[in-house]
Chains A and B, each alone.
Chain A
Amino acid sequence: MCIILFVCNVCYSQTNCNVSLTSNCNPTGAGSQCVITGEPTINFTFESFGDFLTGGNVFGASILKMIVGENVAPLADCRWRLNVHMDNNGGLPTEWEQVYAYGTNTAPFPNVNILEMRLRNQCNTSLTGSNYATLATTANNIDVVESPGVSNNSGTCSATNVNRPGSYLNNFGEYSFAIDYRLQPTLNIQPGIYRLNVKFCITEGN
């Protein structure tokens, strides 16, 4: 029974987060930590024409805080990566999941790219900078911190892509991200209630 559960957990993770073959960082719960605060569900309601024109924008609705520890032995370069992707419960990769339709009609579902996200912190370490980023399809992801063979240490608060061990407790501006969500619906799409799951993945980089 233990083996079955373990295998299933791996399968699930692989579909959602990139898996590294190295183990130079502490696993979460054993030296590393990832915490998200804020409401688990963020609702946008568009009930006037003005709402459609202006769109919806919530600032700092989620705060992502991380601690990444490095294994002592074998001593190696621990680098981490953070990316964002979306899940629409098996819908077409470019569309939101429709939970409820207001009436019947043939208009298209909204595209996932109308949801924009900005991950920001005090030291501006995000690869997306201060810009809102979006995804054209659920098959893609937004790289916030990467590990392209380069190690960027924390503590200077002067560079992007800090990907070495550290903690939000010591360097909040480099190991935390406030997340803003912006949603700009388009006209002539099918009225209804839609859902999109946003996944924040922290994994060890290669």
Chain B
Amino acid sequence: MKNNPLRKALLALGAIVVSHAAFAQLQEEKNVTITMDLQPILQLKMEGPDQLDFTFDEINEYYAGIVKYGATILKVSSTVSFDLWAAGLSQGQEGSFLWDNPVEYAAPSAQAVDEIPLTALELRQFPANPSVAGGCVNTVALSSDYSAPFQPITIPGTSTMSAGNNTVYCPAPGTPYTAPTSTAVVGTSEKYIAGGTGVVANCSVIGGSYLIGGLNPNTSSYRYVMDYRILPNLPVTFPAHIPTNATNATAPYVTNADGASGLLANGSVYANPGVYTMYVKYILAQDQ
């Protein structure tokens, strides 16, 4: 009887119960789970007309070009660090990197071709790309944005002009959202409006908005005023697109667009009269 296993087990259980009661305390815990869904917010507000018309019907407009000052104002609100750039594109009716030509005033010929490169369009921005001053290692002043002034033609007959730095970045048409490749080298850099290549320090603009912090239009990193220029020249060769007239002569998009066009600097091959169209995508992308 003394060694009955059942009796031992009951005694042990009793000891446990007594022990538990002796340490019973007021102790309770309630839980609430908080979840937070933080979505990346990138808002780009564009002020200005959806369509800009450049009509060249005066001789002086061919030599001086037409400038549309402040035609587009870009306003950014972003919760994440971002890059902003412009992409010049077309439907590719006449080929990659070329303006579309929906209306011809005369049939093209060997001398009059419908091959206007997208880089015939120039942009100018204000203020400058803040990443350049901010110390982004992949940028260089003026060449990594559109802040340089438009340059004039100096010798019309040879399509010579002071080296410009404003031709619109144009990605390959099959990959229109490809970001520019900015470099620290004058001559090769592709252009951002804000930011630079790579997820590295200062190569993006930190999240914020033109709405908060008191907007200073002279320095704000969240508001950009864009000017547009098209400079045809006579004969119509659009000299700004020619690499020798561009500071970033070896930037891939400059050489690609120039290579797609048959226009010659000496004017022996020029643009055929007609209506030409292209479009500009402004792209705001997370970069952090």
B26 within 8 A of A: yes
Q: How far is the CB of A191 from chain B (nearest CB, A)?
A: 4
Check if B32 sits within 8 Å of A30, measured CB to CB. Answer: no
In-complex Cβ contact of B41 among A40, A47, A107, A204 (8 A): A47
Q: Which of B26, B32, B39, B199 has the most CB of A within 10 A?
A: B26
Q: Which of B30, B43, B286 has the most CB of A within 10 A?
A: B30
B29 within 8 A of A: yes
| A-B CB pair tally, cutoff 8 Å | 180
Report B241-288 residues with CB < 8 Å from chain A CB: 286, 288
Check if A188 sits within 8 Å of B29, measured CB to CB. Answer: no
With A188-B288, A191-B79 as given contacts, are A199 and B37 in contact (CB-CB < 8 Å)? no
Q: Considering the complex, give the chain B residue whose CB is closest to the CB of A187.
A: B207
Distance between Cα atoms of A6 and B23 in the complex (Å): 12
Check if B208 sits within 8 Å of A64, measured CB to CB. Answer: no
With A48-B41, A103-B286, A110-B36 as given contacts, are A40 and B25 in contact (CB-CB < 8 Å)? no
B-side contacts of A16, CB under 8 Å: 29
Q: How far is the CB of B41 from chain A (nearest CB, A)?
A: 5
Distance between Cα atoms of A68 and B103 in the complex (Å): 87
Check if B33 sits within 8 Å of A23, measured CB to CB. Answer: no
Q: How far is the CB of B33 from chain A (nearest CB, A)?
A: 4
Check if A23 sits within 8 Å of B40, measured CB to CB. Answer: no
B172 within 8 A of A: no
Q: Considering the complex, give the chain B residue whose CB is closest to the CB of A3.
A: B16
Check if B32 sits within 8 Å of A2, measured CB to CB. Answer: no
Check if B28 sits within 8 Å of A202, measured CB to CB. Answer: yes
In-complex Cβ contact of A197 among B24, B33, B80, B288 (8 A): B33
Check if A204 sits within 8 Å of B209, measured CB to CB. Answer: no
Report A1-49 residues with CB < 8 Å from chain B CB: 2-3, 6, 13, 16-17, 19-20, 22-23, 25-28, 30, 32, 34-36, 38-49
B-side contacts of A25, CB under 8 Å: 25-26
A96 within 8 A of B: yes
Check if A193 sits within 8 Å of B36, measured CB to CB. Answer: yes
Check if B81 sits within 8 Å of A188, measured CB to CB. Answer: yes
A136 within 8 A of B: no
Q: How far is the CB of B281 from chain A (nearest CB, A)?
A: 21
The 6 A-B pairs of least Cβ separation, nearest first, read A187-B207, A25-B26, A191-B40, A34-B28, A36-B30, A27-B24
17 intermolecular pairs with C-beta atoms under 8 Å apart = A2-B13, A6-B20, A19-B25, A19-B27, A20-B25, A25-B26, A42-B33, A43-B37, A44-B37, A45-B37, A46-B36, A103-B286, A194-B35, A194-B37, A200-B32, A201-B28, A204-B26
Interfacial residues, chain A to chain B (CB-CB below 8 A): 2-3, 6, 13, 16-17, 19-20, 22-23, 25-28, 30, 32, 34-36, 38-49, 51-53, 61-62, 64, 68, 78, 80, 96, 99, 102-103, 105-107, 110, 115, 179, 181, 183, 185, 187-204
